[in-house]
Amino acid sequence: MQKNIKISRQEYSDRRRRLMDLVGNDSIIIIPSADVKVRNRDADFAFRQDSDFLYLTGFNEPQSVAVLIPGLEAEFILFCREKDPQTELWTGRMAGLKGAVDDYDAEDAYPLDDIDEILPSLMQNRKKVYYSIGHNTGFDLQVIAWVNSLRVKVRKGIQAPHEFILLDKYLHEMRLFKSPVEQELMRHAAKVSISAHEKAMRVCQPELMEYEIDAEYLYTFRKHGMEPAYTSIVGGGENACILHYIDNNATLKDGDLLLIDAGAENQAYASDITRTFPVNGRFSEAQRQLYQIVLDAQYAAIEQSQPGNNWDDPHQAAVRVIATGLIELGLLEGDLEEIIKEEKYKPFYMHKTGHWLGLDVHDVGDYKLNGEWRKLEAGMVLTVEPGIYVSPDKNIDEKWWNIGIRIEDDVLITENGNEVITDGLVKEIDDIEALMQSES
Ligand code: GLY
Ligand code: MN
Ligand code: MN
């Protein structure tokens, strides 16, 4: 496996500079970190930093707030936890104020406890406050309190900000375009995910439990210093038809398909891969027929994932192939154009063909601009994940029942086309069957 890389301090600094240039000198930007979340009683979930905060700071601690004040001498200020040997003894190392400055390039750092005293003065005479309004009620109230504390001083000639603007407008647009280093981190996440999917295909056999397959993913991800980008979906037979199935606790049955949607997260950058394969290593005729439609739909959608095409073009291509295939197999009846227009394929294909991928598995970024599907551009990463799911229905031939298939890859839009960054993983029927016969 290739060497993992890291985002440089320069890149973080460039991101802050760019955002500050976009909002202008009459603005202040406030970004709180994520909180530690209680799992139960005294046990916490593993800490996962807020993606916006991480994108701008690289700082991986809770109880922190980043403030950007373009044009001031200290433009980047971090409020964070003070270094405390007792806390470090119990919960681990912390950067402290000195570390925030020395290692994360904050131009000033203050204890979080002092934020109510310091932040209002940083807001003085700024017209606009940029932050992610509505995500954290406690923080919303704090921001309003800071502004109110300035409002009462207007007679002293102090101006309070009078515009609150969603930070998403600029920041999420920046996050949508992945830098070369981000692309490399995502390729690396994809490689680790690929090796986990290969392992799963090799070890799979009837009578194993879904969680035994899940364990192969957890092992491979952790072995490479990564973690799941989302809870893995490991669904055999009818469970493959539950789109967000995460119980992963059923027995895998001979003759069923197994759908696995699992991806590693590398330094917070996600991969997102789905493969569907037969538990016993051989597709049945009915499974093969439906699988081939999904695969053809996926190729058609990837083909449409080109710079200059609309966000919706890959979905429309997938829908057309799936509707055509379902008509040919007798699962849908009627005119193709009417089936597409009236979305009559939706009982079998009820989700969209993809989403942006990045620091969040369903990554940020607008899908429409000015009411129109936006154009795909170089540097965007999206998933392409068509599927067919057949739930039991007395109007449908029983041979199709409980077949659930999704095939998902991660696609980077390039200047001249695209790069399927998860391309190394088999998905042709013959290739899957061959891999499942091979020794690990
Ligand atoms: N794994 C989540 C998704 O495919 O959207
Ligand atoms: Mn997925
Ligand atoms: Mn996905």
pLDDT at 154: 80
Task: Tell me whether residue 348 is in a domain.
Answer: yes
Kindly report, residue by residue over 62-73, the tens digit of the pLDDT: 999 999 999 999
Kindly report the protein residue whose alpha carbon is nearest to atom 3 of ligand 1. Answer: 272
Residue in 22, 20, 33 with CA at minimum distance from that of residue 75 = 20
Question: Which member of 41, 73, 244, 439 is catalytic?
Answer: 244
Residues 282 and 150 in one domain: no
Q: Judge whether 272 counts as a catalytic residue.
A: yes
Kindly report, residue by residue over 412-434, the tens digit of the pLDDT: 999 999 999 999 999 999 999 99
Here the tokens at position 61 are 């601690």
Residue 27: which CATH number? 3.40.350.10
Task: Tell me whether residue 208 is in a domain.
Answer: yes
Residue 234: which CATH number? 3.90.230.10
Kindly report, residue by residue over 43-88, the tens digit of the pLDDT: 999 999 999 999 999 999 999 999 999 999 999 999 999 999 999 9
Kindly report the protein residue whose alpha carbon is nearest to atom 4 of ligand 1. Answer: 272
Residues 34 and 87 in one domain: yes
Residues 131 and 210 in one domain: no
Residues 195 and 130 in one domain: no
Residues 277 and 152 in one domain: no
Examine the pLDDT at 2 and tell me if it is beyond 70. Answer: no
Query: Which of residues 174, 195, 226 is at a domain's end?
Result: 174
Residues 416 and 397 in one domain: yes
Distance separating alpha carbons of residues 180 and 361, to the nearest angstrom = 19
Residues 229 and 364 in one domain: yes
Examine the pLDDT at 440 and tell me if it is beyond 80. Answer: no
Residues 252 and 274 in one domain: yes
Largest Cα–Cα separation, the chain? 81
Examine the pLDDT at 7 and tell me if it is beyond 90. Answer: yes
CA of 355 to the centre of ligand 3 (A): 6
Q: Judge whether 188 counts as a catalytic residue.
A: no
Query: Which of residues 174, 195, 229 is at a domain's end?
Result: 174
Mean pLDDT of 251-271: 98
| Residue 407 and residue 271 in contact, taking contact as beta carbons nearer than 8 Å | no
Task: Tell me whether residue 2 is in a domain.
Answer: no
Residues 341 and 420 in one domain: yes
CA of 246 to the centre of ligand 2 (A): 12
Which helix (H) or strand (E) segment is 257 a member of? strand 257-262
Distance separating alpha carbons of residues 59 and 26, to the nearest angstrom = 26
Query: Which of residues 148, 174, 200 is at a domain's end?
Result: 174
Q: Judge whether 385 counts as a catalytic residue.
A: yes
CA of 189 to the centre of ligand 2 (A): 14
Mean pLDDT of 5-18: 97
CA of 249 to the centre of ligand 2 (A): 19
User: What residues line ligand 1, using a CB cutoff of 6 Å?
Assistant: 230, 261, 272, 355, 361, 385, 408
Task: Tell me whether residue 3 is in a domain.
Answer: no
- Which domain covers residue 114, as residue numbers? 9-174
Question: Residues within 5 Å of ion ligand 2 by Cβ?
Answer: 261, 272, 408
Q: Judge whether 355 counts as a catalytic residue.
A: yes
Examine the pLDDT at 389 and tell me if it is beyond 70. Answer: yes
Report percent pLDDT > 90 for the chain.
95
Kindly report, residue by residue over 112-148, the tens digit of the pLDDT: 999 999 999 999 989 999 999 988 899 999 999 999 9
Taking CA 353 as the corner, what is the angle to CA 352 and CA 359, rounded to the nearest 5 degrees?
95
Mean pLDDT of 233-254: 97
Q: Judge whether 431 counts as a catalytic residue.
A: no
Distance separating alpha carbons of residues 426 and 262, to the nearest angstrom = 15
Beta bridge partners of 277: 258
Task: Tell me whether residue 1 is in a domain.
Answer: no
pTM, to two decimals: 0.96
Q: Judge whether 333 counts as a catalytic residue.
A: no
Residues 20 and 57 in one domain: yes
Mean pLDDT of 271-282: 98
Mean pLDDT of 293-310: 98
Residues 78 and 199 in one domain: no
Residues 288 and 423 in one domain: yes
Instruction: Report the domain count for the chain.
Output: 2
